[in-house]
A and B are shown apart, each in its own frame.
Chain A
Amino acid sequence: MVTSHYSPQAENKTIWVFLEQQDGVLEEVSLELLARGRELADQLGWTLEGLLLGQHVAGLAPHGIACGADRIWLAEHDLLEHFTIEAFTQVACQLLLQKRPSVFWLGATPNGRDLAGRLAVRLRTGLNADCTDLRIEPREGLLVCEVSGFGGGVLAMIEMRNHRPQMATVRPGVFALPHPDPSRVGEVISMEIDLDPAIIQTRVIERSVGAGLNLSRVPFLVTGGRGMEGDFKILEQLAQLFEGEVGATRPPVDEGHVGRERQVGQTGVVCSPKVALCCGISGAFHFVVGIEKASLVIAINSDPEAPIFEYADYCVVGDVHEVLPELIAVLSGQQVTYA
């Protein structure tokens, strides 16, 4: 059997969460993991600790504590200013080996996944990726990870008995965000690290945030069809409430209400959002192909016979021009006023 660098016997009963930050802001998924970690740590009487790496990031530590951490391990270094896989792996590995937590979680962000994949091999331990639930079995302190495979068709419970740390990644949004409590008390411990610039092989050449449109991966897709009668403003408003994007069927694109790059379907973009909200769409086969991979489909159409309802989880029989303004009002916590 392959053995990890430290064994269950040598572990400390702590849950570590990688506090990923970018440009001075903690990633929400890290906070979500703190929230879940807090629940489990309280049940088990363990401690919950955050690992915070970067340069000039000490100011983020109190927020981690407010979100549930008992302790923050902080490592600051010039070479940690931007994420590079080499430096982050090196430092995280050093600290994990020093402190030997039983459990280590990371957010399944692009950098979180990269780091987790590297670390698991370096530490010769197991890694459960994209978990949909995390539990800790109280008697032996085993982390039980629920993961889904085959496009969500199969759920598996996975654990590791002999290897530490018990690593897992979780996608953003699986767990709820915590309610920060600024009065929470915890400690921040600055760690000495040893980092050789020669190991860093990755160079960041360019970075641009806030550009481009990629409908295929947006988590919330608001699509409109002929039934919108050209009113796509309201769909944009709705999409913005959940950082989503607007897509469309062919007719509104043809009529010039929406750009061609937003056409969803066989001859447009095939999307796999968490939620696809279909507004005033009849459900032509050409279009439906583009939303089949959505985890949840909600359709609003005034015609109860509309084919779109055969492809929807929730079939809302109603007039989009009446339902959508109400929906926006409900979501933004306002009352609708009728003129």
Chain B
Amino acid sequence: MSAIEPRLVDDALWYRLLELTDGAAALCYQCGVCTAMCPWGDLRKEPLSVRTFLRQAQLGLQDGDQSLWLCTTCAQCSAACPRGVDIVKVLRALRLLAWELRQVEIGLPSVLWSLHWNNNPWTQPPSQRAGWAKGLDIPAFDPQQHEILFYVGCTSSFDRRSQKIARALVHLLDAAGVRYGYLGEAEPCCGESALSLGHSPYFREVARQAAQTFDEHGVTALVAISPHCYDVFKNHFSASMNNFEPMHYTQYLAQLLESGRLRFNQSEETRVTFQDPCYLGRHNGEYQAPRRILASIPGLELVEMTQHEEDGLCCGGGGGRMWLETPAGERFSDLRVEQAAACGASLLATACPFCVTCLEDSAKFKKLSGMQVLDIAELAARTVSNGKH
């Protein structure tokens, strides 16, 4: 048996972590429920030891452990934590220290550089941000005329697959007679990648600029496609802005259904199951809005997977994992599509561009040819005809 190496505790680092986390880790009594709950345990021989990270934060240790970058910030651990520790906050703080010590995974600095030069984390030309809307004739946002700002986000602006979600929403908003506009090329990135990757100082800079842009355009009510953008606006933004009401599109569509402005008039005879996006569900407690939409679609039968709502399984794309490679056989989404198949659904609906990407990939990888992955917006748009699109 090898001796345990003594480790030196660094007071300065300890203090810095305390500051960065508001002492979040102090509550932890090292029970290990977090490690047990972490989905990595189902996929890797060696589970991700969340407990160890919390211990490091308590003591002020940073040892360059690269498994820090595995965390998808799905928050399944904190949901189960008996002490209510904000574990995601602690993980992000440890990541910031890793940035400062230059111990980040290869490829991640390039993500932030892309944000810096391109206003998106996907190294796409900023001038083509509005390219997805070609031929759609969406007006530039005007606070005098418009009820909401339609916030598209980087992924739905540039990723061809995800652009379909944006276009489906345009169809739905038009059908409901919503007066809305968008910012087109001037739309700022929300900075979620910087936040998730733990670079909070840079995130604050991006957020400040974005808030300024919203302010200049007189934005108050905003509807975002991605739960990641929505979470940023709701929980990491609002303090700096007055009367700022960010919504996720599922919440807005649910409102439109309730007020009778939106009606699904074609039926969809399918058995569907729903993947709760972590940043809609666990991070923001919104489980009902997407389900209300699904329930309003005639003919649709909703079945739940073994893990759902508070216990929902992450697709694997959060926490910056969209920019890191996950080896085959270690992808959360592989498990998820199997769960979907097991509950007898032939349609796997979700409400997040990252989820769509990961799940669709896994459905193909697992050769589940009968399983269709759709965003709720796409599914809903199929059941609404307004003759316009």
Contacts and interface: CB of A to CB of B under 8 A. Distances in A.
Number of contact residues on A: which range applies? Answer: 10 to 19
A255 B159 contact: no
Given A254-B365, A307-B161, A289 B328 contact: no
A267 B323 contact: yes
A12 interface: no
Contact of A267 (B107, B328, B329): B107
Contact of B160 (A251, A267, A285): A285
A250 B334 CA distance: 14
A117 B323 CA distance: 39
A267 B324 contact: yes
B123 interface: yes
Interface string B104-123: 00010000000000000011
A165 interface: no
A254 B328 contact: yes
A289 B122 contact: yes
B372 interface: no
A160 to B, nearest CB: 34
Interface string B371-382: 000000000000
Nearest to A268: B325
Q: Which of A254, A283, A285, A286 has the most CB of B within 10 A?
A: A285
Contacts of A284: 161, 357, 361
B332 interface: no
Interface in B154-213: 158-162
Given A251-B364, A255-B328, A266-B323, A289 B160 contact: no
A289 B161 contact: no
Q: Which of A255, A283, A286, A307 has the most CB of B within 10 A?
A: A286
B332 to A, nearest CB: 15
Interface residues of B, number: 18
Contact of A283 (B160, B162, B365): B160
A300 to B, nearest CB: 18
A259 to B, nearest CB: 13
A164 B169 CA distance: 63
Contacts of B107: 267
A310 interface: yes
A226 interface: yes
Contact of B159 (A251, A267, A285): A285
Interface string A243-256: 00000001101110
Contact of A285 (B162, B323, B329, B364): B162
Contacts of A283: 160
Contacts of A263: 325
Contacts of B162: 285
B364 A310 contact: no
A289 B123 CA distance: 8
Interface in B307-329: 323-325, 327-329
Contacts of B327: 254
Contacts of B160: 283, 285, 288, 307, 310
Interface string A263-302: 1001110000000000000011110110000000000000
B158 A285 contact: yes
A288 B163 CA distance: 15
A86 to B, nearest CB: 37
Contacts of A251: 364-365
Which 3 pairs of residues, A with B, have the shortest CB-CB distance? Answer: A254-B328, A267-B325, A285-B159
Given A263-B325, A285-B357, 4 more contacts: A226-B364, A285-B158, A285-B159, A285-B161
Interface of A: 226, 250-251, 253-255, 263, 266-268, 283-286, 288-289, 307, 310
Interface of B: 107, 122-123, 158-162, 323-325, 327-329, 357, 361, 364-365
26 contacts: A226-B364, A250-B325, A251-B364, A251-B365, A253-B328, A254-B328, A254-B329, A263-B325, A266-B323, A267-B107, A268-B325, A283-B160, A284-B161, A284-B357, A284-B361, A285-B122, A285-B158, A285-B159, A285-B160, A285-B161, A285-B162, A286-B357, A288-B160, A289-B122, A289-B123, A307-B160
